[in-house]
Structure 1
Amino acid sequence: LAMLTDIGGLYTADPHYNPQAQLIRRVDKIDAEVKRMACDTASRQGTGGMATKVEAARLATSSGVNVAVADGREPDILVRISQGDDIGTLFPAQVCKMESRKRWMLSGLASKGKITVDKGAVSALKEHKKSLLPAGVTKADGKFQRGDIVDILDDKGKNIGYGIANYSSSDLASIGGKHSDTIGSLLGYDYGDEVVHRNNMVIV
């Protein structure tokens, strides 16, 4: 994937204003420092800015796609990128590719709603790699059905992941904050203990 702009790629600072800014030839991991540099690198004509391009690169590389960000004014730029020339900034595909379903969830494009969880659930999901249980759910926003993709938010509204909902938004209005062993009595049916099973979840 080639993303063309009006500067040479990702720099350590804005090259329009800082003559000491250096072009970064390769980014193996998109972390907080890379995102900061992207915010500091401004394109005068490109759509969305460098920060948007880096976010797009994160999604693409997570799907196993190499990404190059380069100056579209360079001669034969697409040919040179396809030949592997050392030009612009390369974001190589991740070595460990996510399974296609999890890549789909990670894109967030199919999300139908949001589930907000408490601090205990955040710890269980992020640190202990557990499934999301109804006891940890504090709120469900949007109208979604069982099997839909949902955003998972912490109590500050920050997105911490995506998952396939095992219960609808209307179900969660009844069972949110309750123990799993009460699901059957509250709803009259039971699809299991988990609101989102760990196998159907991506934490970011």
Structure 2
Amino acid sequence: MLRTQTIVVKIGTSSLTQSQTGLLALSTIATLAETLSHLRRQGHRVILVSSGAVGIGCARLGLTERPRTMAMKQAVAAVGQGRLMRVYDDFFTTLQQPIAQVLLTRSDVGERSRYVNAYNTFQALLEIGVIPIVNENDTVAVQELKFGDNDTLSALVASLVEADWLFLLTDVDRLYSADPRSFPDAQPIALVTHMEQLAQLQVQVGSPGSQWGTGGMVTKIAAARIATAAGVRTVITEGRFPHNIEKIIQGEPLGTQFAPQLQPTNARKRWIAYGLIPTGKLYLDDGAVKAICQQGKSLLAAGITTIEGEFDSQDAVQICDRFGKEVARGIVNYSSSELQNIRGRHSREIATILGYAGAANIIHRDNLVLI
């Protein structure tokens, strides 16, 4: 009996549009709709994360390059999003497959209650056989609340719904040791078992995407890191051939696969690591880094050497070693102004210094996740 799987597919602007004109690549979209509808008929739960609103809006308005200002990007996205959903609706309706539009901003996954609500909405849509089509809500998101690219958005959605697969459809057939368009002798990479393997292979990730898109191989590798940490098998493959999705699920060695972590982090810790937006940094001495990274302990004030940024209690912060490398993220029990007074001090001194009794730890290990 076929096992039902949850499959998230992200398609980029470079695959959805013609490179020279920015007009829609209708044959690709038609094949994508056929493939995803077929997966649904097989019983799988399918989510599509689609870029393209800004690129399609540019083509619709006759613009020759992507807008540079936030206001113009949002205006163009508003034009393009309606056209994009109309095209999807036409193709999926022909195939008798219901779809739904889901527009997200970073705050939808940054606030715990909205994160849980987003999860419930996705589950309800999948339960009734709908394919949600997800995009960032470009028309309202301010810069601080943007995902930055839909590769990151797709990884967060895959993590949120605890997907089995994340497919990142792009303009190359797989990951290479260098850009094959510039280096003909670049070596293909079929499987990445751990992210450090990419550094060992000296993978060069190239430029940040096409003139119409915002992604690139850098963001896809970052997305794979998020998704595999959640236990999601991630694949980079060519967007012009959506049928390859089914072939890969059936075991054909196409694209580049990133193996999922065998012991994925739990949902709350994934939310802390990737859903929240850090508002500050804490720099630690070597002893504190060892205590939290190797011994699984909570962070104490004594190990903090430097504080950067302004934040309140219960905000998320980055935790860095003395060289500035991020080693963890967590939710703090004290504000930045309080921490300036108690950093480097013993926990028993906190009440005397602040004038009131607070938590013994700065970040409890249950609110701390290693990066």
**SS in structure 1 opposite 2:175?**
coil
Corresponding residue number in structure 2 for 1:118: 285
Mapping of 1:88-107 within 5 angstroms? Answer: 88-107=255-274
* Higher relative contact order, structure no. (Cα contacts within 8 Å, ≥ 6 residues apart): 1
Equivalent-residue separation in structure 1 for 2:184 and 2:366 (angstroms): 48
Q: Deviations over 1:1-21 (max 9, x none)?
A: 221222111123432344443
Q: Which amino acid aligns with 1:25?
A: A
Instruction: Please tell me whether residue 179 in structure 1 is matched to residue 346 in structure 2.
Output: yes
Equivalent-residue separation in structure 2 for 1:138 and 1:117 (angstroms): 5
TM-score, scaled to structure 1: 0.85
Structure 1 residue 126 displacement after superposition:
2.4
Q: How many residues end up aligned between the 2 structures?
A: 203
Give the direction of change, closer, same or farther, for the CA distance of 1:77–1:100 in structure 2 (3 Å limit): same
2:174–2:256 CA contact under 8 A, matched in 1: yes
Equivalent residue for 1:12, pick from 174, 177, 181: 177
Equivalent-residue separation in structure 2 for 1:120 and 1:37 (angstroms): 32
Bigger shift: residues 91-100 or 76-85: 76-85
2:176–2:203 CA contact under 8 A, matched in 1: no
Structure 1 residue 64 displacement after superposition:
2.4
Q: Which amino acid aligns with 1:186?
A: I
Corresponding residue number in structure 2 for 1:144: 311
Corresponding residue number in structure 1 for 2:238: 71
1:35–1:54 CA contact under 8 A, matched in 2: no
Corresponding residue number in structure 2 for 1:201: 368
Equivalent-residue separation in structure 1 for 2:276 and 2:221 (angstroms): 17
Structure 1 residue 146 displacement after superposition:
2.1
TM-score, scaled to structure 2: 0.49
Mapping of 1:25-40 within 5 angstroms? Answer: 25-31=190-196, 33-35=197-199, 37=201, 39-40=203-204
Structure with bigger gyration radius: 2
Structure 2 residues not aligned, in runs of 5+: 1-165
Structure 1 residue 182 displacement after superposition:
0.6
Structure 1 residues not aligned, in runs of 5+: none
1:113–1:150 CA contact under 8 A, matched in 2: yes
Structure 1 residue 74 displacement after superposition:
2.5
Q: Which amino acid aligns with 1:61?
A: T
Q: CA RMSD in A?
A: 2.5
Q: Deviations over 1:28-86 (max 9, x none)?
A: 2111x314657424477474332321111010111222211011122534454555543
